[in-house]
A and B are shown apart, each in its own frame.
Chain A
Amino acid sequence: TQLLEQSPQFLSIQEGENLTVYCNSSSVFSSLQWYRQEPGEGPVLLVTVVTGGEVKKLKRLTFQFGDARKDSSLHITAAQPGDTGLYLCAGVFNQAGTALIFGKGTTLSVSS
């Protein structure tokens, strides 16, 4: 079974702080997605990265895909209480797209 690790598992910060969440594997991803999930709801897609070294920005969120396509990071600048939620990465490990794995998630709490 492919293992996709996320860190940290929990993060509690004050409004205005910056943070980074990591998603790592010993295997190469064909592509990777980041989702955000609020309590009582299903996950919602934030971004998809496909190319090694790719950087995507979504307002205060910056997503980076490692050059070797084995890792990814999500950086939030000046966190706000509205950023609170569970952040999940999901990766595909083969060209057929049949090995879809979600990480266990990072629970972020931003207090004002």
Chain B
Amino acid sequence: NAGVTQTPKFQVLKTGQSMTLQCAQDMNHNSMYWYRQDPGMGLRLIYYSASEGTTDKGEVPNGYNVSRLNKREFSLRLESAAPSQTSVYFCASSEVWGWRLREQFFGPGTRLTVL
């Protein structure tokens, strides 16, 4: 089992460019998440998908869009990148979404720099 995989691992963009971050999990999990991690800010939830076919905004959704392509894949799109979106992006998955926090399994991250 690969767990949660993310591509690319590193990316440099110019302001205004677009790109899609890919995420896939092979654990048959229902819920998937996108976070960003900035120095001194911890992890902040961008979007999540509680189950296949649904997506919802998290704490910091502005400037991003997501697609739950199927049960395995959850992509994050930056339509017009801005320097403020320079960050490390983590994808995660869990068995289910609910008030009893399930273990979240994280990918290795994508390090994005926007110039």
> Which residues of A approach B to under 8 Å, CB–CB?
1, 6, 9, 30-33, 40-45, 48, 50, 88, 90-92, 94-98, 100-105
Say yes or no: A42-B42 contact (C-beta < 8 A), given A48-B101, A97-B101: no
User: What are 24 of the A-B contact pairs (CB < 8 Å)?
Assistant: A30-B99, A30-B100, A30-B101, A31-B99, A32-B101, A33-B104, A40-B108, A41-B108, A42-B4, A42-B90, A42-B108, A43-B106, A45-B103, A48-B100, A90-B104, A92-B99, A95-B99, A97-B97, A97-B101, A100-B45, A101-B59, A102-B44, A102-B45, A104-B42
Could you tell me which residues of chain B, from 57 to 92, have a CB within 8 Å of some CB in chain A? 58-59, 90, 92
Which residues in B have their C-beta under 8 angstroms from that of A103?
42
**Chain B proximity of A105: nearest CB distance (Å):** 5
Report yes or no: A104 in contact with B41, Cβ–Cβ below 8 A: yes
| Docked complex Cα distance between A88 and B104 (Å) | 13
Point out the residue from A42, A44, A88, A92 that lies within 8 Å of B109, measured CB to CB: A42
B 24-59 binary contact with A (CB < 8 Å = 1; else 0) = 000000000001000011111100100000001011
Report yes or no: B90 in contact with A33, Cβ–Cβ below 8 A: no
| Docked complex Cα distance between A92 and B45 (Å) | 12
Chain A CB within 10 A, most for which of B43, B45, B56, B109: B43
Identify 11 new A-B residue pairs, CB closer than 8 A, beyond the known A43-B90, A97-B100, A102-B45: A1-B59, A30-B99, A31-B99, A40-B109, A42-B90, A42-B92, A42-B108, A45-B103, A95-B99, A97-B101, A98-B56
| Docked complex Cα distance between A97 and B96 (Å) | 11
**Chain B proximity of A97: nearest CB distance (Å):** 4
| Docked complex Cα distance between A100 and B101 (Å) | 9
